Structure 1
Amino acid sequence: MARPRLISDDTILDATRQVLAELGPTKLTLAAVGARVGLAPPTLMQRFGSKRGLLLASAARSPHMVQLAAAEAEARNTSPLAGLRDFALSSVAHIKHREELGNGLAFVQLDVADPEFRAHALAHSNAIVESSARMLRAAQEAGELKADADVPALARLTLVCFNGALQVWAVTGWGLLTDFLRDQLDLVLSPYLAPG
């Protein structure tokens, strides 16, 4: 009979995300992730097959994490636009140093070069766009956004703003990341806000 797993895959993937932020995908090792959760590298090999398998599992989980974060932000806010801001800001609140974000952005090289990683990156982006569109539609229905605002286009623009702000901040370090992202998002949304 197989021994029960005392440490869940989710716990391991959370640790993988933390180690990725600290070291980036190139320097990440099974030993570093295993040390974070108290598992030996061979145990991680059994579960994920390889470092690549672990990174792919982390990437595959990303769209679900986006959807979960969006739902939590919506539940915390009565205003749909406040929910959208909360969704954006809470997703980066853990990032304190530009190096962490730079290490995360290094993952984009895998997303561009490797078709399997790219599929997960597209799903991640689609989850952001779909979640944003849902909140923007709700904001339109609540009278927060102009009735003629093009919600699908604005949802894609929200993704562009989000990713662009992260990359710019990684280089410039202008203030706190949450403040910088909030300001950029507010600038993007301001032409579409309903009067009053």
Structure 2
Amino acid sequence: MARPRLLNDDQILQRVGDALGDVDAAWTLAGAAAAAGLHPATLIKRFGSRRGLLVALSQRWVSSIPSKPTSDDAHQELLAWVDSTCASEVAEDQMLTRIDMLVEDLRDPELRALLHDGWQRNIDYLTGLVNRARQDGQMREGISSVTIAHLLLDTAHGSLLRAAVTPGRRDTAPACTTQSLLEALT
């Protein structure tokens, strides 16, 4: 008789995703399972392989990105998004591991397509926030909203790479750069 499932797939993905956020070296299926308090066989049974788990994690991430503003104050929501891009609390080894994970995604066509979908969803979300902030008089007109969205996302990602290259420097903190850009556009 099969053992009853104590966790659904989404709960497992939440645990594994949380555990991977703290990883500071190349991760294995066994390591991810242990960090999430699970047995590797559980992950294999549910997701088929390490790659299957990565696809499921990526799909979950894409689905979690809002498609439109979620509050009445778009400017505050933009500021919260900027804060969420901050890697000031991320150790150097963790940053390098995240870059390794990005390269892994870029090498796999399905994972790369999911990454593209996630980034496009971020662009759509940020564009909606900028449009709403403009309607509310919290941002000035000028550059198109979609261009601002691209600038914010590109600045956040570029700042993360810069922080990985010079992790000890205060002026490389991603939130500072992205925050400065947002302030310049408001």
Deviates more, 1:59-68 or 1:125-134: 59-68
Report what 1:10 is aligned to: 10
Take 2:142 and 2:108, find their aligned partners in 1: how far apart are those partners?
A: 39
Sort the Cα spacing of 1:191 and 1:176 in 2 relative to 1 into closer, same or farther, 3 A: closer
Take 1:15 and 1:140, find their aligned partners in 2: how far apart are those partners?
A: 38
Deviates more, 1:167-176 or 1:52-61: 167-176
Contact persistence 1:80–1:135 (CA under 8 A): yes
Sort the Cα spacing of 1:21 and 1:56 in 2 relative to 1 into closer, same or farther, 3 A: farther
Match of 2:170 among 172, 175, 180: 175
Contact persistence 1:21–1:104 (CA under 8 A): no
Report what 2:36 is aligned to: 37
Q: Percent same amino acid among aligned pairs?
A: 27
1:130 aligns to 2:124 (yes or no):
yes
Deviates more, 1:4-13 or 1:127-136: 4-13
Report what 1:160 is aligned to: 154
Output the TM-score relative to the length of structure 1: 0.80
Unaligned runs of 5+ residues in structure 1 are none
Give the letter aligned to residue 167 of structure 1.
L
Output the TM-score relative to the length of structure 2: 0.84
Alignment of 1:7-156 (within 5 A): 7-17=7-17, 18-19=19-20, 21-24=22-25, 27-67=26-66, 74-75=70-71, 79-92=73-86, 95-156=89-150
State the aligned residue count: 184
Q: RMSD value over aligned CA atoms?
A: 2.6
Take 2:95 and 2:36, find their aligned partners in 1: how far apart are those partners?
A: 22
Sort the Cα spacing of 1:58 and 1:138 in 2 relative to 1 into closer, same or farther, 3 A: same
Give the letter aligned to residue 9 of structure 2.
D
Give the letter aligned to residue 13 of structure 2.
L
Unaligned runs of 5+ residues in structure 2 are none
Contact persistence 1:48–1:54 (CA under 8 A): yes
Contact persistence 2:87–2:174 (CA under 8 A): no
Where 1:22 maps in the other structure, the secondary structure is coil
Take 2:135 and 2:50, find their aligned partners in 1: how far apart are those partners?
A: 46
Take 1:16 and 1:92, find their aligned partners in 2: how far apart are those partners?
A: 21
Report what 2:181 is aligned to: 188
Sort the Cα spacing of 1:38 and 1:188 in 2 relative to 1 into closer, same or farther, 3 A: closer
Sort the Cα spacing of 1:186 and 1:95 in 2 relative to 1 into closer, same or farther, 3 A: closer
Displacement of 1:91: 4.8
Give the letter aligned to residue 170 of structure 2.
G
